[in-house]
């Protein structure tokens, strides 16, 4: 059984290779990845196929106010 660090290193090694390969090659890579990490097929496919980076979530900007201050304070009460 692999440790989490070993699974992550295996994932990092295969993700670019997986994205650039053909469908037949992807099947082989996915089968090998599943065998080594003991992940479910759908989860392994999700990990190898995602393009986004993992980590911090994007901070969203605040919305513009719909009402100005003269309307906002009486509504708040």
64 lies in a domain?
Answer: no
Give the structural domain span for 26.
1-52
d(CA 77, CA 31): 61
| pTM score of the predicted model | 0.62
pLDDT of residue 43: 93
6 lies in a domain?
Answer: yes
d(CA 32, CA 3): 17
pLDDT of residue 53: 62
Domain count for the chain: 1
26 lies in a domain?
Answer: yes
Per-residue pLDDT of the chain (77 residues; tens, 9 = 90+): 788 999 888 888 898 899 899 999 999 999 999 999 999 999 999 989 876 666 667 777 888 877 788 888 887 77
């Amino acid at each position: 059984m692999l440790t989490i660090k070993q699974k992550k290193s295996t994932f990092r090694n295969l993700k670019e290779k997986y994205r650039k390969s053909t469908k037949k090659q992807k099947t082989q890579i996915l089968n090998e990845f599943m065998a080594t990490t003991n992940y479910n097929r759908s989860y392994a496919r999700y990990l190898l196929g995602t393009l986004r980076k993992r980590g911090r979530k994007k901070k969203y900007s605040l919305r513009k106010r719909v009402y100005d201050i003269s309307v906002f304070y009486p509504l708040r009460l």
